[in-house]
Amino acid sequence: MTSSSTCDIAAIACAVVIGLWASGAHAQGAQARDPVAAEALFKAGRALVEKGDYAAGCPKFEASLALNPSASTMINIALCHEHEGKLASAWEDYHRALVLNRETVGEQRRRGLEEIANKGIAALEPRLPKLLVTVEGAPEGLEVQRDGKPLPKAALGEALPADPGPHEIRASAPGHEAQTQTVTLEEGKTVTVKLALKAAPEAEPDAKKGGGVPTWAWISGAVGIGLTGAAVGFLVDDLSAIGALRENCREVRQGTYCNPGYDYAADNARKNRDFGLFVGLGSAGLIAIGAAVVGIVGSSSAKEPARTAIALPWVAPDRAGATLVGSF
């Protein structure tokens, strides 16, 4: 790659960032400008840096820039980043300084600052590490992050400047397994990161949590138990009516004789009604429970052979009990 083409790619990669930063800095500066405090901080930062105390001096420049953005302050921040080895950050700072320099007062001073910024950019160009990220067969909803910050889709496949050192690239998309890769950049070298997202496997039901049992089986079992319980209630009432009939009535030659004042018809009707409801509800309940057993046993056998036993209640006019159903 020629030197001119390298500069073109670098300029394209930085153009959008510079434009957004310049407009944001201008809006912020219009709200909180304090040139006097900014100048004091700038001088304090210069004094510290000239003594070699970059750790204390560079934050002064950052504070000065926040109070009154200027090209000269931005250039000093670029020099601080160069000292820290953050080459891409310094390269971006010089470009920012060129934007801010449009507001510098005085033709001679403006040209001097422009020359310093351009020399800084030219010196950094051959030293800049670059990172190229590609995602094979980019799926719908793809999101790529570089060091936790979103990387636009348009940036994929482009060698973009980045500071030397470790960088983390993460790609994700709905229905796919996310991929993360860490690379270390060196001065003047381009590193390519190729990612390919794989479709996420379908989640398997957790046997321990009973996730494999279909919902309808649980519902059917609950309904069956409820119907069977109601049937038992009607059976109890039916036996009560039979007991009252036997206690108050007896067979004689002329037919059935009942004690005076006893309402034979009411208890007889209650007996017949309760027995019919007992048979109907009990049958429906047992069918529902049987269907639930089929669903539960079927889901268990689909995972692995297991010993399963479920008690099915049953009732009769004179007794009740339970039957074990399952595999042993």
Quickly list DSSP for 174-242.
TTB--EEEEEEE-TT-EEEEEE-PPBPPPPPP-TTTTTTS-HHHHHHHHHHHHHHHHHHHHHHHHHHHH
Mean pLDDT of the residues in the chain = 81
pLDDT of res. 91: 96
pLDDT of res. 302: 55
What mean pLDDT do residues 203-218 have? 66
Q: Which residues contact 128 (CB under 8 A, 6 or more apart)?
A: 10, 87, 88, 91, 161, 187, 188
Q: Does residue 129 contact residue 52 with C-beta atoms inside 8 Å?
A: no
pLDDT of res. 16: 37
| 101 burial via Cβ count (<10 Å: 0-12, 13-18, 19+) | buried
Q: Is the pLDDT of residue 228 over 80?
A: yes
Q: State both tokens at 290.
A: 């049987």
Domain 3-126 maps to which CATH number in 3.40.50.1370, 3.30.420.280, 1.25.40.10, 1.10.10.10? Answer: 1.25.40.10
- pLDDT band of residue 271 (cuts 50, 70, 90) is confident
Q: Which residues contact 99 (CB under 8 A, 6 or more apart)?
A: 18, 21, 22
pLDDT of res. 67: 95
Q: Is the pLDDT of residue 308 over 70?
A: no
264-303 vs 215-248: helix axis angle to the nearest 10? 160
Strands, sheet with 165-172, edge to edge from the N-terminal-most edge strand? 149-150, 143-146, 165-172, 179-185
Q: Is the pLDDT of residue 327 over 90?
A: no
User: What proportion of the chain, given as a percentage, has pLDDT over 90?
Assistant: 48
What mean pLDDT do residues 167-183 have? 93
pLDDT of res. 18: 41
Q: State both tokens at 11.
A: 């300029």
Give 243-260 pLDDT, tens digit per residue. Answer: 877 888 887 777 777 888
pTM given for the model = 0.55
SS3 category, 35 = helix
pLDDT of res. 300: 65
Which is nearest to 73 in space by CA: 108, 30, 44?
Answer: 44
Q: Is the pLDDT of residue 21 over 60?
A: no
pLDDT of res. 263: 80
pLDDT of res. 147: 94
- pLDDT band of residue 310 (cuts 50, 70, 90) is low
Give 83-111 pLDDT, tens digit per residue. Answer: 999 999 999 999 999 999 999 999 999 99
The residue that leads in pLDDT, 317 or 187, is 187
Give 48-88 pLDDT, tens digit per residue. Answer: 999 999 999 999 999 999 999 999 999 999 999 999 999 99
What mean pLDDT do residues 109-124 have? 96
Length of the chain: 328
Residue with tokens 């040209």: 111
C-alpha dihedral sign at 77, 191, 169, 24: positive
Give 287-298 pLDDT, tens digit per residue. Answer: 878 887 887 877
What is the CATH architecture assignment of 130-195? Sandwich (2.60)
